[in-house]
Structure formats: C-alpha cells, structure tokens
Amino acid sequence: MMMIQPIVTCLQNQHDAGLLLLAALVCTIGVYGALSVQDHTSRAKGQARIRLMMTSLVTAGCTAWATHMIALLAFDPDMPAAFEPIQTVLSLILGMIGIGAGLLVATGRQRRPRRAGGGVLLGAGVVVLHYFGQTAYVVRGRVEWDAGLVAFSVLASLPLFALSLLLAGERNRTFRVAAAPLLLLAIAILHISGMAALRLTYDPRIALPHWSISPQLLAPVVAAICIGLFGVALLSVKLTLDAKARVREDQQRLGELANLAVEGLAVCEEETIVSANEGLARLAGQPRDKLAGQNLSTLLPSTPLADIPEGEELDAALVRPDEQVVPVRVLRRTFQVGAETRAVIAFRDQRERLRVEEKIRTLAYTDSLTGLANREWFNTMLSARVAHFKETGRPFTLLLIDLDGFKSINDSCGHAGGDEVLRAVAERLVAVAGPEYETARLSGDEFAVLITDRADPLDASSVAEQIIRRIEEPILLREQIVHVSASIGILPSEQNHATVEQVLMNADLALYDAKANGRGHGRLFRQDLRHAALARVDTAVELQSAWQDGDLEVYYQPQVRLADGALTGAEALIRWNYPYRGILSPAAFLPVLEAGPLAVPVGDWILRSACRQAAHWRAAGLRDFRIGVNLFAAQLRSPHFPELVREALDQAGLPADGLELEVTENILLRNEGDTLRHLASLRGLGVGIAFDDFGTGYASLTMLKEIAITRLKVDRSFVLDVETSRKDQAIIEAIATMAKGCDLAVTAEGVETAEQARFMEAYAIEAQGYLFGRPMTATMFEEQFCPATQVARQLQRSNREAIQVRQTA
C-alpha cells in the first residue's frame, strides 16, 4: 500500500494521459512484434534465422527505448527538462544489449530454467535502459530517488520478465498467449514505479547543459522509431499469415492424400485430432468433421498416444460412439507441417484379418468331409476334459467308434460312395449324440463321441447301442443301398486316467475287444484288457523269434469219406513248438498272428508246405489226396494272391484239385480288397474253396450264390449234440438240403463218436474229427496213412519176424 500511493499520485498528477496511452500502445505493438518475430526465428533456418533474430532484438530494444521515451515525454516534471544525447544513445545501446542477450538465451523451446534466466536477463536490460536513460533526463532542479520504490520497481518487474519469457517458450498455446501481456505488465510496473521513485525539486541555480536536446526536438526521432516498430509489427503479421497459409496448404495436401488411403488416418497435434480421412470416418462410424477436434483418447481409450511406438504397429481397440469395439492396428509417424510437429496415426482395420484367421482356425479344427471336429480339435477337447476330471472330478465318457467292413464299401462303391457313407454316419452320430456331446472324426472310418458330465457304464453302453443301431440302418446311395455296422469301445472316466494318451489307449483296447468279439457291439473297458494287450505284445515278440527259429510246424488232420471211411485228404493246422510249454494250439497265438505282420509270410509258408506235403503223399500212393489250407484275411488282401497259389501248386507239382482253400465267414463278410474276385479266379484254376465253420457267423445265404465255393464245412457246434438236439438236427438238415441245391459238398467237422459219424452220414459226404484222427505231425500222418510207408513197415515187420523165426530155428 505504501508503494501504491506515490505511484497512483505520480500517474494522476504528473503524467499526460494521452501520451501515456500512446506509450502503452507502442509498447504493446513492439512487444507483440518482437515476440512474434522471435517465435518465427525459432522455426526458421540459416540466413533467414539470423535476419529474423536481429529484427527481433532491434525491435525489442527499440520498443523498450521508445516506450521509455514516450513515457518520459508524458511526464510533466513542472520545470524545464531536456535529454542528454550521448547518454540517451548509450542507454538505448545498453538496453538493446541486455534485451538481446535475454532473448538469445531464451529463444526457442529451451528448458524452463534457461528461459526464465533469459527473462531475468531481458528484464535487467530494460532496468538498465530505464535507469540509465533516466540519468540522460536532465532538469533544472535537484534529483532524488526513493530507494524503496526503486527496489520495488526492480523486484516486482524482474519475476514478471522471467515468467513472460518462460511462458513464451511453452508448448501449450494458452500459456504462450499470456507471455506478451505479462511482458507489458513488467515494463509498465518498472517504468511507472521507477518514475514514481523520482523526486524533483526545482532549483533555478541548476542550468540545463547547452548540448542537451529539448523534448520537442526528440519527439520526431521517437516518432520515427515508432513507425519502424509498426513496420516490424506488420512484418510479423505477414510472417504469421504466411506460415499459417503454408500450414493450411500442407494440411490440405496431406488431407487429400490421406483420403486416397484405404486405411484410417488421423493427423494429431498433441493429443488432439486436427484432421481425419474418410477411412477413419468409416472405421470410427463418425463424420470427418466430427472427428476433427476430438481427443485421440475418445477413439483409443486404452492406448495413449505416447504408447504408440513410432513406425511400429501396435494392436489396439477403437471404440465407436455406439460402444462397438473395432480391433485395429495403429502406427504413428511424426512429421513437420511447416514449422509444426504433427503425428499421423494410421489405423488398420483388423476385422477381416481376424475373421479369416478365425476361419482358418475352424478349418484347421474341422474335418472337411463330415464337418465334425477333427483329431487335433478332439485331442484338445479331450485334454480339457481329462484335466477337468483330475482337478474337479467332473466325469466324462469316451466312445471310440470304428466302422465294420467300411473298406469293402469303399472298394465296391468307390471313394465317392465311401465318402457319402462317412457323411451319413457322421449325421447319424450327431443325431444320436445330440449337441451336448462332442463328436469327432479321428481318421478314415474312426469316430469319437465325448459324453460330458457322465460316467455311468450302463448309460454309456445304452448310448453306444443306440449309435450302433442307428448306423446299421440301411444307407441309400445314388444307386444302391449299403449296410454298415460299427464297433464301439466305451471308456467311462472312473479309472485313474492321468493322461490323454492313457485315456485313448484304454478306449482303444475296449474297441479292440469289441472288434475281436464279433463286431457290431459296444464293449466297456476292463483292466484285464490291458493285461491281455500286454500279453499280446509279448506273444507278438515271441512269435517273431519262433518264426525265425523254425518253431512253427504244420500238423495234418485226416478227412475221411463217411460211406466207407476211406481217407480223402487232410486239413493243415498250424502248431507252435514252444520251448518250455510244449505244443501250442492256434487259440493261444492265432489272433496275434492274424493281426500282425507275420500273417502273410507265415500263411504263405503253410500253403507251400501243405502243397509240397500233399504232392509228396500223392506220389507215395495216396491217389486223389486233397489238402485243406486255412487262409488268413491278410493273404486274400494281397492283390497277387491267385498267382501266389498257382506258383505254390507248380512248385510242389500238385494239381489244382489237390488243394482246397478254407475261408471263414468273417473273411468273406469283410470282403476286403479283391477277396471275391480272387476266390473266383482260384476257382477258375480248379482249386476247391471250402466255407469253414459254416452256420456260426452272419453270412447271408445269398453269399452261397455269389461266391465261388465248392464245400460247406458244418461247424463242430452243430455236430456235438446232433443225436439228441432236435434243433441241431433241423439245422444240419437245412444245410444239407441247401448244399445239395447249390451243388456243394458237405464235410462234418468235429466228429468224435461213431454215433455222430453214423448220424452225419445221411447229410455229409465227408467228415473230420478225433474219431478219425487228431491233428498230427507230417511224419505221424505218413506212418498212419501212407500206403507206401505201410507196405515198407509191413515188409520190415515180416522181415523182422522172419529173422526172429530163423533165430529160434
């Protein structure tokens, strides 16, 4: 308050208001001009920069000086006053140096302390100009100073000078705008309080120096400088307008370019979108003009501009006004528009890419033929189930489904037909399983169903049964009706299933069991299946070495004519001379042999041995001797099987009618490869074909008509109780009648008693069984049945008797 009073009095009583206003005006124009030129300086380069800098310095200096001068002219000292010219000029120079140094230090986007320091320097320049200029102001009187006000003028204005230049270099526009008024305020405070500090007392004894210049003379000089200042102000306005026009032009050009781009583009100044292209408008679901002015964070709420790396793509989520989220990739590039720094943000729409990826993913996880899940996806689902089961005990049941006889369908209907059958099966599976089960096609004709949240064996068996019945319904292809069945391995999640592999293996064992037990059924997994599987593995290994070591042997069982008991032939039956356990019957190893890689070589070896043996016995006197050889399915699958048979016959020197190949219904039913054609061509060669174990399987009677066979072998099970069982008698009668009608010979198997033989005589021509002889080694067979051997032995015996007689004699 103490300071304010003299200042207000000084202003009211000792100043010409008009001139004071003029001083303020000149100062305003000069300050704006100087700061504006200064602003352009920071963006200009080379010569232009130096020119602008000099202009800015001179303007600032002149402004301060002219303001000071006009203000002094406005001051009425109440006594004659004049200006001391040298000091006046010196004050101008000193002021310019201080102001210039301050501006130089603070110019551009320097750090804040430096800018503030520049402000202090500039302020010091103005202070020097003012107080030194004051000494050039001479009056006829004594000059005294109010020290408090002088101190106030300096201390109050210097922080404002500092603040002013500090703000002038800020990025934020609002702050920058405040710089000039602050500078004006600082000058005003300095000048006015400086003037108020001046105490003049008229003293006629003091004369004005004769070289001093009267204010009236100085006024035109000041006026000229003011005009210069106006010029600078105009220059700065022009510079600003030019720069603005350039920015606009650049931005417009950029906008045009941007609209050509497919991607969304936004030009940002700081965080604010200055302009956006059509692409972004489409992406953001807003018109372009609405986008301009928005903060970028409204589009990308979770990705601040600072987080978007320069020149590197980043996944982000663009949020539309309707809250819809569009997945985008954003990329930032910073560049210069005129003198401004702008960031261009490119938005790449990711929806299509994600859709395609999703599609690829679904394609990768579905079976293209049936549309069910494929093996990969199924394994993933199963892994999840198994993990769940382990963690929470949530049960599940796995059904492994394998079609029976699908191969023959593929062979007879072609691949297109096979595909259609698979599709039909898939549809039926889904129909039975419903949407709550997970259904997959694992490979060729193998399917799987995953029942979630249930592990009841009875329930699972019933689902399996339903599936089988549904699959067994006739399938209508374009021209034909096909029948297919399925076997199912059932695995409820009760056992300690730790891994997916274990689960699959156990289900597989159950499926194997189902297949081995007649197909067309579901079988539950049991622990003993695993032991059996392990035993099978052992057997397979041992069988391999038995084969290599020659431990396999062919036995022969006689076949006789029932009418007179004459030997007609023999059936070749395999045996394994097992080192410790003795002789093993086929039941112990045949399933393993049949399913393994040895089936073909062993089968071929049996065929050749049997043919050789038969030829040998024929030569030894067994005329028309016929050898029966059982076949493995794998042998008939070989495309050259008939040639192999012919070769075996040729090598052995056995006529074709000396061989009878025995096939079971299972082999015929599977009808894999060229089975039926092979049999027909073998029949064409003259080889006999016997239908083994007749009556036990599911062969349809039409097979008798279609397949080239010569003999039915009535299964042992019908013969066993034939004397007492009316049913068995009826079946045998029917078989015999049918055979007669089809011109087929009949052999009764498993005849053990004379009564059975007598009964069967009416229905079968030939018989085989323990009554006539068990399977035996070739040597034993030869000893028992070969006439040549018998003659030799008789000869030997009589010889021995003769020797004995001679000895006794």
Distance separating alpha carbons of residues 334 and 267, to the nearest angstrom: 9
Residue type, position 195, single letter = M
Shortest Å distance, C-beta 747 to Ca ion:
9
Q: Which does 588 bind (CB under 5 to 8 A by kind): ligand C2E, Ca ion, none?
A: none
Using rule CB under 6 A, residue 145 touches ligand C2E:
no
From the list 90, 143, 384, 590, which residue makes contact with ligand C2E (rule: CB under 6 A)? 590
Stretch that binds ligand C2E, among 21-29, 443-451, 681-689, 743-751 (CB under 6 A): 743-751
Strands 446-452 and 438-443: antiparallel
Nearer to ligand C2E, 335 or 770 (CB): 770
DSSP letters along 477-528, please? -SS-EE--EEEEEEEETTS---SHHHHHHHHHHHHHHHHHTTSSSEEE--HH
From the list 192, 267, 337, 574, which residue makes contact with ligand C2E (rule: CB under 6 A)? 574
Long-range CB contact pairs, 413-421, < 8 A, 24+: 413/477, 413/480, 413/482, 417/477, 417/478, 417/480, 417/482, 419/369, 420/475, 420/477, 421/475, 421/477, 421/482, 421/484
Q: Which does 775 bind (CB under 5 to 8 A by kind): Ca ion, ligand C2E, none?
A: ligand C2E
Shortest Å distance, C-beta 602 to ligand C2E:
8
Shortest Å distance, C-beta 447 to ligand C2E:
31
> In the range 72-131, which residues lie near ligand C2E by CB under 6 A?
none
Q: Which does 43 bind (CB under 5 to 8 A by kind): Ca ion, ligand C2E, none?
A: none
From the list 631, 654, 746, 760, which residue makes contact with ligand C2E (rule: CB under 6 A)? 631
> How wide is the angle at C-alpha 537 spanned by C-alphas 533 and 542, nearest 5°?
140
> In the range 774-803, which residues lie near ligand C2E by CB under 6 A?
775
Shortest Å distance, C-beta 575 to ligand C2E:
7
Diameter of the chain by CA atoms?
Answer: 202
Length of the chain (residues)? 809
Is 749 labeled as catalytic in the residue annotation? yes
Nearer to ligand C2E, 692 or 782 (CB): 692
Shortest Å distance, C-beta 581 to ligand C2E:
15
Nearer to ligand C2E, 59 or 568 (CB): 568
Q: Out of 420, 660, 749, 782, pick the active-site residue.
A: 749
Judged by the rule CB under 5 A, the positions of this chain that interact with Ca ion are 630, 662, 692-693, 749
Using rule CB under 6 A, residue 275 touches ligand C2E:
no
Stretch that binds ligand C2E, among 201-209, 505-513, 727-735, 767-775 (CB under 6 A): 767-775
Q: Which DSSP symbol is given to 287?
A: -
- Give me the sheet containing 325-337, strands edge to edge: 272-276, 264-269, 340-349, 325-337, 314-319
Distance separating alpha carbons of residues 563 and 764, to the nearest angstrom: 9
Distance separating alpha carbons of residues 745 and 99, to the nearest angstrom: 132
Instruction: Please list the residues that pair with 75 across neighbouring strands.
Output: 15
Stretch that binds ligand C2E, among 68-76, 280-288, 295-303, 762-770 (CB under 6 A): 762-770
Distance separating alpha carbons of residues 380 and 386, to the nearest angstrom: 10
Nearer to ligand C2E, 530 or 716 (CB): 716
Determine phi and psi for 337, rounding to 5 degrees.
-115, 110
Q: Which does 573 bind (CB under 5 to 8 A by kind): ligand C2E, Ca ion, none?
A: ligand C2E
Shortest Å distance, C-beta 551 to ligand C2E:
14
Q: Which does 159 bind (CB under 5 to 8 A by kind): ligand C2E, Ca ion, none?
A: none
> In the range 337-356, which residues lie near ligand C2E by CB under 6 A?
none
Tokens of 566: 């004459």
Taking residue 202's Cβ as centre, other Cβ atoms within 10 Å add up to 13
Shortest Å distance, C-beta 783 to ligand C2E:
19
Nearer to Ca ion, 513 or 693 (CB): 693
Distance separating alpha carbons of residues 65 and 606, to the nearest angstrom: 128
DSSP H helices, 686-715, are: 702-706
Q: What is the total count of residues that contact ligand C2E (CB under 6 A)? A: 24
Q: Which does 572 bind (CB under 5 to 8 A by kind): Ca ion, ligand C2E, none?
A: ligand C2E
From the list 84, 349, 445, 693, which residue makes contact with ligand C2E (rule: CB under 6 A)? 693
> In the range 711-740, which residues lie near ligand C2E by CB under 6 A?
716
- The structure tokens 């399917």 sit at 447
From the list 674, 692, 728, 766, which residue makes contact with ligand C2E (rule: CB under 6 A)? 692
DSSP letters along 652-673, please? HT--GGGEEEEE-HHHHHH--T
Tokens of 477: 């292809």
Shortest Å distance, C-beta 712 to ligand C2E:
13
Using rule CB under 6 A, residue 607 touches ligand C2E:
no
Tokens of 525: 């997994």
Shortest Å distance, C-beta 427 to ligand C2E:
38
Say if residues 63 and 33 touch (Cβ distance below 8 Å): yes
Active site positions, annotated: 749
Q: Applying CB under 6 A, which residues contact ligand C2E?
A: 557, 572-574, 585-587, 590, 606, 630-632, 662, 692-693, 716, 749-752, 768-770, 775
